[in-house]
Amino acid sequence: MSDTLNCPSCLAAMTSRVFERRYGPPITIDLCQGCQGIWFDNQELLQLTPGATLELLGLIAGVESQARVQLAVRLGCPRCTHRLTEVHDLQRTTRFSYFRCPEAHGRFLTYYQFLRAKNFVRSLAVTEVDELRKHIRQVNCSNCGAPVDIERGAACGYCRTPIAILDPDQVRKAVAELRTADQEEKTIAPDWPLRVMMERVRAERVFAEAGENPDGFRQALRADSTDLLATGLQVLKGLLG
């Protein structure tokens, strides 16, 4: 069997990356930059260490901005080619979805759904959608990449995903929690509390420099971007450094 997997959607060769596992040998995860999707074998999604999750987030945030390939109607398992089934799940209090192989070979998540599972994403409120309509008529779905005419609705007509954005407060909190958990899983050094405090101060400074303020969301909308996920990833990239 070839070590290179093809994307379940566009069939292009995926890029393999090795990450730390909570217990046992390292995990190899496959990413498709064109479709902005991730393939996890078996239960690998649940086995990433906090540090590995931060590393994967850094890779996602560092992806070069480009036109995303819209997800195909039929997604096939890269291991057995059986059609993947859409599954809805719950991580803490956050609902997200993914595509699962019926033979239990693994699951395919878009970057959006992975970020949603890690509590980085929130759907826009009605008032925020109204504000968005004042500046932009069409955006790309953060989940599947399909165009969304926001004059006609606040959700993707293709995959039904609501218009969403990476919320600065949620991003800051989630990154801080992952960094703290990562430190706790490692050998606790005498200066651990100081290092955690410095990380939090650094996070505050990054968002301050990014111009976080009560009008920050409106300023982001006026950037005239049609990809709200890509805009949010720029903030995440700055925070992860």
Q: What angle do CA 21, 24, 29 make, to 5 degrees?
A: 40
Closest CA to 143 of 36, 16, 8, 22: 36
User: In whole angstroms, what is the distance from residue 85 CA to residue 137 CA?
Assistant: 32
User: In whole angstroms, what is the distance from residue 10 CA to residue 15 CA?
Assistant: 13
| pLDDT tens-digit map of 152-164 | 888 888 888 888 8
What are the backbone angles phi and psi of residue 167, rounded to the nearest 5°? -80, 125
User: In whole angstroms, what is the distance from residue 98 CA to residue 87 CA?
Assistant: 5
State pTM to two decimals: 0.74
In Å, how far are 99, 166, 173, 188 from 237, measured between CA atoms? 27, 12, 15, 27
| pLDDT tens-digit map of 39-96 | 999 878 888 999 999 999 988 887 765 677 889 999 999 999 999 999 998 776 778 8
pLDDT band at 187 (very low <50, low <70, confident <90, very high): low
Inter-residue contact 33 to 8 (CB < 8 Å) = no
